C-alpha cells in the first residue's frame, strides 16, 4: 500500500512598508498549517523560500474587519508589527475586505487605520509608561523597544551592538534595539536591530513609534509630530499627550505590493 502525498498550493503576496517586507496570505479559510514553525521560517528564508522579514496571515474576526496574525522570520509568532499592520491594511483593500478604512485585531488589541492610495495611517495603542535610564529609554508600543541616542549613525555597528544589548540587557525574551540620531527639531534618523529577525531591518514601525515618543519624553522633540528617516524610507508619527499617557498615536507611511505568486506546501 502506497501513501500518496498531495501538495497544497497557496497564493501568496509580497508587501513592503519602507523596506520592511512581509509575505501576506489570505487565511480566511484557515487552511495554512500555521503552527508549523519550520514551515514559516522556510517561507521567510531569503535563499530557500520566498524571503521576508515576517509572514502575516489575514483571518476572519468576529469583532472587526479582519484579524492580523504575525510571525517573525524565525517562525515564531511575534508581537505587534507597525509596518506589517500598515501592509495588511493595503492587502485587505486589495482583497476588497475593506474600502478606505479598517478596524482589525492584532496581538495587542484593536487598531483603526485609513488608506489613501499607497499611504496608510495606522492608529497604535496607547503608551502609559516610558522608562528613562542614563543612556537609553525603554517603552512598549505593541512590541518592546530600547531607544538610544548615538552620533555617527551611518557608521554605527548596529548588528553587533544591537545583538549585544538584545540578549545582554534584556535576556532571551529580548527587546528590539533602536539607535537614533537627531537631524533637526522634528527629524530623527533611526536604525533598528529586530528580535525575531535577529538582524538589522530597513524599517520597524513600532520602533519608529517608540523613537517619536521617547524623543518627545526627553524634550528633544518639542511638537506632537515627528518625521522619522529609516533606512528604507520616511515615516511620520503623530500623537497626543494627556497626564503622561500618549494617546491617538498614528503611524503614517507607504505600503505597497511588490509581487504575488503561488507556492506548494
Looking at residue 6, its pLDDT comes to 57
Q: Catalytic: which of 32, 41, 43, 81?
A: 81
For the entire predicted model, the pTM comes to: 0.94
Closest among 150, 127, 149 to 140, alpha carbons compared: 127
User: Which grid cell is 13?
Assistant: 503576496
Fold matches, 9-121+255-264 and 130-253: yes
Candidate CATH numbers 3.30.70.1230, 3.40.605.10, 3.10.310.10, 1.10.1740.10; the one for domain 130-253: 3.10.310.10
User: What is residue 254's predicted lDDT score, i.e. its pLDDT?
Assistant: 98
Q: Are 247 and 224 in contact (CB under 8 A)?
A: no
Which triple of cell numbers denotes residue 54? 515576517
Q: What is the pLDDT of residue 4?
A: 54
Q: Is 44 a catalytic residue?
A: no
CA distances from 189 to 113, 181, 198, 211 (A): 25, 5, 21, 9
Domain boundaries, the chain: 9-121+255-264, 130-253
What are residue 72's phi and psi, to 5 degrees? Answer: -70, 165
C-alpha cell at 246: 500618549
Q: Does residue 204 have an active-site annotation?
A: yes
Catalytic residue among 204, 215, 235, 249: 204
Query: Is the Cβ–Cβ distance between 248 and 123 less than 8 Å?
Result: yes
- The pLDDT value recorded for residue 241 is 96
pLDDT tens for the chain, 265 residues long, are 555 545 678 899 999 999 999 999 999 999 888 889 999 999 999 999 999 999 999 999 999 999 999 999 999 999 999 999 999 999 999 999 999 999 999 999 999 999 999 999 999 999 999 999 999 999 999 999 999 999 999 999 999 999 999 999 999 899 999 999 999 999 999 999 999 999 999 999 999 999 999 999 999 999 999 999 999 999 999 999 988 899 999 999 999 999 999 988 7
**Contact call for residues 66 and 102 (beta carbons, < 8 A):** yes
Which of the four CATH numbers 3.30.565.10, 3.90.245.10, 3.10.310.10, 3.40.50.300 does domain 9-121+255-264 have? Answer: 3.10.310.10
Cα distance between residue 186 and residue 229, in whole Å: 11
The residue count for the chain: 265
* pLDDT for the residue 3: 56
Compute the distance between CA of residue 194 and CA of residue 203 in angstroms, rounded to an integer.
Answer: 9
Q: What is the pLDDT of residue 8?
A: 79
3-state secondary structure the chain: CCCCCCCCEEEEEEEEECCEEEEEEECCCCCCCCCCHHHHHHHHCCCCCCCCCEEEEEECCCCCCEEEEEEECCCCECCCCHHHHHHHHHHHHHCCCCCCEEEEEECCEEEEEEEECCEEEEECCCECCEEECCCCEEEECCCEEEEEECCCHHHCCHHHHHHHHHHHCCCCCCCEEEEEEECCCCEEEEEEEECCCCEEECCCHHHHHHHHHHHHHHCCCCCCEEEEEECCEEEEEEEEEECCEEEEEEEEEECEEEEEEEEEC
Residues 6+ positions from 36 with CB-CB distance below 8 Å: none
133 to 17, 62, 218: CA distances (angstroms)? 31, 41, 11
pLDDT of 40 reads 95
Amino acid at each position: 500500500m502506497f501513501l500518496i502525498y498531495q501538495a497544497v498550493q497557496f497564493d501568496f503576496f509580497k508587501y513592503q512598508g519602507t523596506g520592511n517586507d512581509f509575505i501576506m496570505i489570505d487565511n480566511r479559510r484557515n487552511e495554512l498549517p500555521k503552527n508549523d514553525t519550520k514551515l514559516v521560517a522556510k517561507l521567510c528564508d531569503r535563499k530557500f523560500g520566498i524571503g521576508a522579514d515576517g509572514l502575516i496571515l489575514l483571518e476572519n474576526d468576529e469583532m472587526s474587519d479582519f484579524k492580523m496574525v504575525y510571525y517573525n522570520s524565525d517562525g515564531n509568532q511575534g508581537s505587534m508589527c507597525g509596518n506589517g499592520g500598515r501592509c495588511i491594511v493595503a492587502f485587505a483593500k486589495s482583497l476588497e475586505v475593506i474600502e478606505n478604512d479598517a478596524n482589525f485585531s492584532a496581538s495587542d488589541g484593536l487598531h483603526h487605520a485609513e488608506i489613501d492610495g499607497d499611504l496608510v495611517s495606522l492608529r497604535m495603542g496607547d503608551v502609559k509608561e516610558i522608562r528613562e535610564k542614563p543612556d537609553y529609554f525603554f517603552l512598549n508600543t505593541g512590541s518592546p523597544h530600547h531607544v538610544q541616542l548615538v552620533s555617527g549613525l551611518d557608521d554605527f555597528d548596529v548588528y553587533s551592538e544591537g545583538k549585544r544589548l538584545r540578549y545582554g540587557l534584556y535576556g532571551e525574551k529580548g527587546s528590539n534595539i533602536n539607535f537614533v540620531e537627531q537631524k533637526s527639531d522634528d527629524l530623527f534618523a533611526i536604525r533598528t536591530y529586530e528580535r525575531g529577525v535577529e538582524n538589522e531591518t530597513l524599517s520597524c514601525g513600532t520602533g519608529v513609534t517608540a523613537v517619536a515618543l521617547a524623543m518627545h519624553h526627553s524634550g528633544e522633540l518639542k511638537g506632537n509630530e515627528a518625521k522619522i528617516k529609516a533606512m528604507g524610507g520616511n515615516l511620520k508619527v503623530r500623537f497626543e499627550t494627556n497626564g503622561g499617557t500618549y494617546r491617538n498615536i498614528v503611524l503614517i507611511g507607504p505600503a505597497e505590493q511588490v509581487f504575488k505568486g503561488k507556492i506548494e506546501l
